[in-house]
Structure 1
Amino acid sequence: MNRILFLSVLAAAVLSFGCAGADRAQEPAKKHRKIALHGYVYQDISLADTVKKAAEMKADGVVLTKRQFIGGKYPKARVDEKMTPEQREYVKKMFADSGLEIAGFGVYSVPVDQIDAHLDFCKDMGIAVFTEEHKRADQKLWNDSAEKRGVKVALHHHGRKTNEYWDPKVIAETVSKYGNIGVCADNGHWARAGVDACYGYKTIGKKLVMLHFKDVILPRGEDTWLGGGSLDVPKMLETLDGIGFDGYFVLEYEGGDKKNLDSIMRKSIEFLRAH
């Protein structure tokens, strides 16, 4: 009897373990969120140094800005569409060697006769998204140029005082008629404008191609690391997952604590990797 009882208990334990193992196997893998540092945030150092930091922090990419110099072999050369072929190859190799992607370029409003040059640069550098903030009348020019070059344009917004694009309904309506223009949404500017980010994301929906992502301490409106402020970041992520967002989370910080910028970026990356 004791032997029969022992075997019964052992069988039950094995079945229990098997079920638990099966449950674990069925758990969905945690989504990998594409994370980029923005060169604008690190404009006091070179692109080369920013790429090193991004690689050390295990980010996925860096967004280019004209405010930075290339660095390394080209300490005085600006990161822009005027880079020579040699400089462009140098930057491409810099990213390839670091295992990072050029996540985007911008944000800029440029003379309309320079639209093609900027998107030609994006095509040559393998940059999928250029962010701009032009008036409505210029959007067809951006769309047509982007279509010819296979590049995506993302219309960006700032706060209430900049232009009308801070309103999710307005920016969504503006891009709705163009196949090659989406939205680069900034939840920090929304928070300071009194706009709920989840409402904004849902309003824009599938036209959302890139995020400027941060947490904000309210009511001061001060940027901080993800999870360190007043915003419900987990709910924002849940909303983004629900609409199928798969673009870059571009981490920004425009607060006054620049001495701890690296720490702020690391905390934000750790938060996103954990969620």
Structure 2
Amino acid sequence: MTTRRSFLHKGILGVAATTLASIPSVYAEPFKLKSDKGKPDPFKLGIAGYSFINFNLDESLKMMKKVDVHYLCIKDFHLPYKSTAEEIAAFHAKLKENGVTGYAVGPIYTKTKQEIDDAFDYAKRVGVDLVVGIPLHADLGYVAQKTKEYNIRYAIHNHGPEDKLYPSAESIYNLIKNLDERVGICFDMGHNKRDGRDSVADFQKFSKRIFDMHLKNVTAAAKDGSTCELGRGVIDIPAYVKMLRKVNYTGSCSLEYEKDMKDPLAGIAESVGYFKGVCDGTR
């Protein structure tokens, strides 16, 4: 039985991650998310590359190592769209040296079919099977065509009430439900909540078309709600984790931390520790 002490202990481990950098990695074992039956959870914890917009790749990987997270959604400021094969190989080698796997690219904004072509070509050259993108409504049919051509999935990102294209997961689903099943959703649970939606219920409702998600919490279920540490917002994270298990979500839960973006490590560590604590403590 999980006690309050053990739950808090896991969270404290995350907050204290910055003090553990001097411990040789050989002594540390990667944390594995566990289900309520003690088996590994089907979903993975990652970090959305945008969290590191103010940091180069080496600095970003150093932070990931400190908080023991091993999956990264790749942004172009770490791996430019026009990277050569040699540069891409060197990028993956550096990730491997740090125990990190790049599992997707994006988000990528596109306004033309050529830019969509470039996004799929980029994903193919990088060697991932998922593009996170924001296309125009008029180009959705073309996106579906490209998913078939490349056999690469495409997840559309929602950005809340300010976003006239895709404010919520429902707005995306209603546009893609009759398209090729490789067109889906990158579910930003925080922005979805800011649009006045129930993010736990919406994840269940649209789970079959959710390929990726941005893990975050917000201060209010309103337009002026802002990103905060994962355990401090209005979304019920334990209920959300239980829903991930209920629908057998197998994608990544990528923390997108947008608070204190010039000095994010403490907030990232707290959020990662909290999420691991919730996964370990929900029974």
Q: How does the TM-score come out when normalised to structure 1?
A: 0.80
* Contact 2:54-2:261 at 8 Å conserved across structures: no
Q: In structure 2, how many angstroms separate the alpha carbons of the residues matched to 1:64 and 1:185?
A: 17
Which of structures 1 and 2 has the bigger CA Rg? Answer: 1
* Contact 1:211-1:248 at 8 Å conserved across structures: yes
Q: Which secondary structure state, in structure 2, belongs to the residue aligned with residue 41 of structure 1? A: helix
1:3-152 equivalences under 5 Å are: 27-31=37-41, 33-66=43-76, 68=77, 70=78, 79-110=79-110, 111-152=112-153
Which one-letter code corresponds to 2:72 in the other structure?
Answer: V
Which one-letter code corresponds to 2:61 in the other structure?
Answer: V
Matched, 1:225 2:229: yes
Q: In structure 2, how many angstroms separate the alpha carbons of the residues matched to 1:180 and 1:125?
A: 19
Give 2:204's aligned residue: 202
Q: 1:196 to 1:228 in 2, by over 3 A?
A: same
Deviation at 1:260, TM superposition (A): 4.6
Q: In structure 2, how many angstroms separate the alpha carbons of the residues matched to 1:126 and 1:97?
A: 17
Deviation at 1:214, TM superposition (A): 0.8
Which one-letter code corresponds to 1:100 in the other structure?
Answer: V
Q: In structure 2, how many angstroms separate the alpha carbons of the residues matched to 1:31 and 1:94?
A: 27
Q: In structure 1, how many angstroms separate the alpha carbons of the residues matched to 2:163 and 2:62?
A: 33
Q: In structure 2, how many angstroms separate the alpha carbons of the residues matched to 1:140 and 1:94?
A: 36
Sequence identity of aligned pairs in percent? 21
Q: In structure 1, how many angstroms separate the alpha carbons of the residues matched to 2:46 and 2:170?
A: 27
Deviation at 1:222, TM superposition (A): 2.2
Give 1:240's aligned residue: 244
Q: Which has the higher contact order (CA 8 A, sep 6+)?
A: 2
Q: In structure 1, how many angstroms separate the alpha carbons of the residues matched to 2:152 and 2:184?
A: 11
Q: Which secondary structure state, in structure 2, belongs to the residue aligned with residue 154 of structure 1? A: strand
Q: 1:200 to 1:164 in 2, by over 3 A?
A: farther
Q: Which secondary structure state, in structure 1, belongs to the residue aligned with residue 93 of structure 2? A: helix
Deviation at 1:137, TM superposition (A): 2.2
Which one-letter code corresponds to 2:187 in the other structure?
Answer: A
Q: Which secondary structure state, in structure 1, belongs to the residue aligned with residue 203 of structure 2? A: helix
Q: 1:157 to 1:97 in 2, by over 3 A?
A: same
Deviation at 1:43, TM superposition (A): 1.1
Deviation at 1:169, TM superposition (A): 2.8
Q: How does the TM-score come out when normalised to structure 2?
A: 0.78
Deviation at 1:158, TM superposition (A): 0.7
Which one-letter code corresponds to 1:175 in the other structure?
Answer: I
Which one-letter code corresponds to 1:206 in the other structure?
Answer: K
* Contact 1:123-1:150 at 8 Å conserved across structures: no
Please identify, of 156-165 and 234-243, the stretch whose mean Cα deviation from structure 2 is larger: 156-165
Q: How many residues align?
A: 239
Q: Which secondary structure state, in structure 1, belongs to the residue aligned with residue 114 of structure 2? A: helix
Question: Structure 1, unaligned stretches of length 5 or more?
Answer: 1-25, 71-78
* Contact 1:32-1:273 at 8 Å conserved across structures: no
